[in-house]
Amino acid sequence: MFIPEFTITNKILRNITQVEYSKALIENTPILSSWEKQLQKEARVRALQGSLVQIGLNVPQDYVKKYIEGLSEKNNIEMVKMNEVFDFIDEKRRSNDLHEEDIRNLYHILHSGSHQPSYRKNQSEGFVSPQEILSEMVQLMDWYNSLDARETHPLLVAGIVKARVDMIQPYDQKSAIISNLVARLILYTNGFEINRYYCLEEHYAQSQQRYMNKLDTIERDEGEMTEWLEYFTEGLAHEISNIKEKVMLLARDTKVAKVSGRVKLTERQERIVEYLQDYGILQNKDFARVFPGISEDSVLRDLKSLINKGLLVKSGSTKSSRYELG
């Protein structure tokens, strides 16, 4: 059976403490629901772009954002599949169960529409043989569901499973993506969803060489994962600390505090605020694209209400009007 070897160092403890502290502040600091959606969307955009970079596709962030918004006319198929698997994880997070077949399901979603994906059949230098992959994956998930794993901090469990999937390299393609997804799922199902405001894919995509170097330390140290776990928890601590700072700034914003405390916004009004947070300006010509099937008069009533609440300012007149956050 797979049993991880590591030492809980002062660095790991500091990183875990920082994550726990930031998590508590984020989850207990109320912000406007439109800002909540904005942070979730930003995390999804960054996760998608980071995942695409990891498979060699440099897709601009604006392109990914327009896809998430439903505003792009042509979509990259890899991006669509990645987004589908993130949606699957958002649903799966409600269950604590995670087994070897669940990992295969993640890969299947990435390859839906093609033949049923299977584990790697060719030998890859430095990784386990194809004949051992199934056994290694089952042993890994047996450990995940064991008492030993349940008594280990979830951040460490996520880092351990992620690293082990990377080292097994179960698939010919996208094994690194699968390891990210499994780590995300483990964190989500073990109390570290943190409102889905954060992502790690961007961190790994921006420092791929360092990522590989830290992963190599496990082999160098004969399976000992301490240095890797220091790196993994450091990345989490940095990302979630940054999100905490964003949340605290939003909470201090007087307009957000005013709205979250005393004013109710309709779903469409929240969508207007969200759009302006992304693009800065809304004009009459944008109404049909942003609100398909909604009359111009209805949108104008919502805009007028937001102006009266002090959230928006209007410049220009009639069809040339421009609306911006106040």
Question: Which two three-digit tokens encode residue 110?
Answer: 């990435």
3-32 per-position pLDDT tens digit: 999 999 999 999 999 999 999 999 998 887
Decide the pairing of beta strands 322-325 and 312-315: antiparallel
Residue 117 — pLDDT band, cuts 50, 70, 90? low
Q: Contact, 158 vs 183, CB < 8 A? A: yes
The pTM (predicted TM-score) of the whole model is 0.81
C-alpha 315/C-alpha 221 separation (Å) is 64
Q: What is the DSSP string of 87-115?
A: HHHHHHTT-----HHHHHHHHHHHTTTSS
Lowest mean per-residue pLDDT among 95-99, 163-167, 244-248? 95-99
**SS3 call for 312:** strand
Find the distance separating the first CA and the last CA of the chain, reported in whole Å.
60
Q: What is the pLDDT of residues 262-308, one digit of tens each?
A: 556 788 888 888 788 778 888 888 888 888 888 888 888 988 888 88
CB 183 within 8 A of CB 200: yes
All CATH 1.10.3290.10 domain ranges in the chain, comma separated: 10-252
Q: What CATH architecture does domain 10-252 belong to?
A: Orthogonal Bundle (1.10)
pLDDT digits (tens, 9 = 90+) for 33-64: 778 888 999 999 999 999 999 999 988 888 99
127 CB-near residues (< 8 Å, 6+ apart): 120, 167, 168, 169
Q: What is the DSSP letter of 201?
A: H
One-character DSSP codes across 119-159: ---S--TTS--GGGHHHHHHHHHHHHTSHHHHTS-HHHHHH
Structure tokens belonging to residue 96: 């604590």
pLDDT digits (tens, 9 = 90+) for 231-249: 999 999 999 999 999 998 8
- Nearest C-alpha neighbor of 98 from the set 128, 130, 140: 140
Per-residue pLDDT band at 166 (split at 50, 70, 90): very high
Burial environment of residue 195 by CB neighbours within 10 A (0 to 12, 13 to 18, 19 or more):
middle
* CATH 1.10.10.10 intervals, the chain: 263-325
Highest mean pLDDT among 13-27, 68-82, 86-100, 299-313: 13-27
We find that the CATH architecture of domain 263-325 is: Orthogonal Bundle (1.10)
Cβ–Cβ under 8 Å, residues 61 and 49: yes
Q: Which long-range contacts (CB under 8 A, 24 or more apart) does 157-162 make?
A: 157/186, 157/190, 158/183, 158/186, 158/187, 158/190, 158/192, 158/232, 159/183, 159/225, 159/228, 159/229, 159/232, 159/233, 160/4, 160/6, 160/225, 160/229, 161/186, 162/232
Q: Is the pLDDT of residue 104 over 50?
A: yes
